[in-house]
Amino acid sequence: MGRRDISKLRRAEYAAAAYRALMRYGNDGTSLARVAEEAGVSKANVLHYFKSKEALLAAALRYANAELLREAVLLLGEARTPLERVYAVVETNLSPTSFRPEVAHAWIALCAGVPYVPAYQRIQTVIYARMRSNLIGPLRSLLPEEDAALLSDLMTTAIDGIWLRCGLSLDGLTRQAARAQLEAVLDARLPDSEERRAAKIRMLEVARILVKARR
């Protein structure tokens, strides 16, 4: 049975390599040869574990998604109130592991491929569904149904826009500037309050601690 283990290992290894290639070279720049080189093995061997390039890239994006999910779960686990849950989502999307041009590159490449690669479409749908459910839950307990839905959607679009700018990195969009923008989005519907400020500060602190602990 010592041989089955290596199969799981290789699959994870090559998915990670494909993700690195996706970050560095973009969607069309990521060839099987490049992924194989990244993993230090032959192209044929990569195809031995993934029957097609599409399957490989889908695995790569599931891998990346799982990475972000781990971060989200950790932060949301520490959130005690609805407001803290909202800020947990904000800080998750601004965490140093996610909010990097390389990661954003991979994500934009994913978006660009959505119309042509069915697997990408499915992954993207999952990501959006999770984002929405994470946001609309806490918001519903803070706002009228209609406003909760609107603010949830608006937060999602704003996060999309911020990640896009991060990926383009034409101007150096800092984490602070991005945070200020998302804060302003919340201003649109969420009244300023002492609890809100406290929730923001606490989740920022929790995020800081988790990042430090991770390293």
- Distance, CA of 142 to chain centre: 25
CA distance 157 to 145: 19
CB of 114 to a second copy, least distance (A): 5
Q: Determine, following the binding rule CB under 7 A, whether residue 200 of this chain makes contact with DNA.
A: no
User: Per CB under 7 A, which region of 2-10, 82-90, 91-99, 189-197 contacts DNA?
Assistant: 2-10
Q: Based on the shown chain and the rule CB under 7 A, indicate whether residue 3 belongs to the binding site for DNA.
A: yes
For residue 64, which of 112, 108, 28, 34 has the smallest C-alpha distance?
108
Crossing angle (nearest 10°) for helices 82-94 and 145-168 = 20
Report the residue number, 56 or 79, with the smaller CB distance to a second copy.
56
- Residues 5-44 binding DNA (CB under 7 A) are 6-7, 10, 30-34, 41-44
Out of DNA, a second copy, none, what residue 149 binds, judged by CB under 5 to 8 A for its kind, is none
185 Cβ contact list (under 8 Å, min separation 6): 151, 154, 155, 158
Nearest to 60 by CA among 35, 77, 81: 35
Q: Are 196 and 83 in contact (CB under 8 A)?
A: yes
**Stretch binding DNA (CB under 7 A), from 1-9, 65-73, 116-124, 206-214:** 1-9
Considering only residues 38 to 57 of the shown chain, the ones binding DNA according to CB under 7 A are 41-45, 47-48, 51-54
Pick 10 or 130: Cβ nearer DNA: 10
Which residues contact DNA by CB under 7 A?
1-4, 6-7, 10, 30-34, 41-45, 47-48, 51-54
